[in-house]
Amino acid sequence: MSTPILDTVLLFSLPASGKSEVRRYLAHLSPEQCREEFGIGPTLQLDDYPYVHLMHRIDDELRAHGRPYAYYKGPHRPFQDEWTWAALIELLNEDYDALMHGRQTNVPSAAQHLFDRLDRAHAKVGLPEAMAEVPYGVRRKIAAALEAECVAELAVLNKTCSIDPKGKTVVIEAARGGPNGAAFPLTPPVGYAAAFQQLSEQILSRASILYIWVDPTESRRKNIERGRPNAQGSILHHSVPMEVMLSQYGCDDVEYLMAKSDRPDTISVERIFEDEGPGGQTVYRDRVFHLPIARFDNRTDKTSFVRAEPSAWRGDDVKALHSGLGSAFKVLAAKMRGA
């Protein structure tokens, strides 16, 4: 009988903590290394950052056409409404469901498709459907300007969704946090507690958490270090504006959530779900999840070398990263077995 593998891993932590580098490293491993040394399958990867970047691009084009920003307070500033964090989770829920069911999307315009998806996700969390309010002629011009970028992102998602998830491990990357100096619990919609309240039951019922542990000060330092000019669309080389780093990522609530969980090495998530009863009426169902969590200690940097080409990776660096990840994945594997 084959050893079970982790189904879905939530790769959560502050910006520039090493999440994308870990994803790149995992994708570099052979299937045998994944299974035998980490207890995972070859990875299928989802990330909400492309949506963050494309919303900036939409705002750029809106301003160029004399329209107000739809999503951000400015080109280097936070969201206009913090519930946009919840809308991003709704987009991840959709992507995960498409992956689980092998759905690929073929549309006349990838940009127009993105605009519609953004509107639906924002509406789900009570926010305005911003692109529906843009005059059609302007919307067409913005779509034309962004089509190539949107086609590229949709192609990546379609390629991921074309792969059978059986025997694979889905890795979902996201960064969440709260204001510098905030008290706990963080007030929704910021922080991971709020994200867990938005994630789909489909994800929560299958997920473990790999948390990459860095100090917020180190997160800010590495965020500056990794940034490259004209690389805001890159998962490895984009840089988050300092106002956002301090107001949105000055702290996070993972340690707080671990401490208050009623089971060790888990985060407890209580949710109420709506179902349709036999007579068409709405019925409510309560469910508690205990998501296994392991911390990969990256307070002393073990991941930045992965941004280089694999041929330039030094053996000592690879060994330190591999060992640290292996220890974290062993914790998750033990929780999966009920140990």
- Percent composition of the chain: helix, strand, coil (DSSP 3-state, to 5): 45, 15, 35
Q: What is the largest CA-CA distance in the chain?
A: 64
| Nearest-10 crossing angle of helices 84-100, 49-64 | 120
Structure-token pair, residue 262: 């009623």
Closest to 81 (Cα-Cα) out of 191, 194, 190? 190
| 1-42+168-339: CATH number | 3.40.50
Q: Which residues of the chain have pLDDT under 70?
A: 1-2, 226-238, 339
Q: Where are the domains of the chain?
A: 1-42+168-339, 45-166
C-alpha torsion angle, residues 191, 194, 198, 202 (rounded to 10) = 80
Q: Write the pLDDT tens digit of every residue in 89-100.
A: 999 999 999 999
**DSSP 8-state code for residue 130:** G
Question: What pLDDT is stored for residue 236 in this prediction?
Answer: 53
Which residues have C-beta within 8 Å of that of residue 194, sequence separation ≥ 6? 85, 86, 176, 186, 188
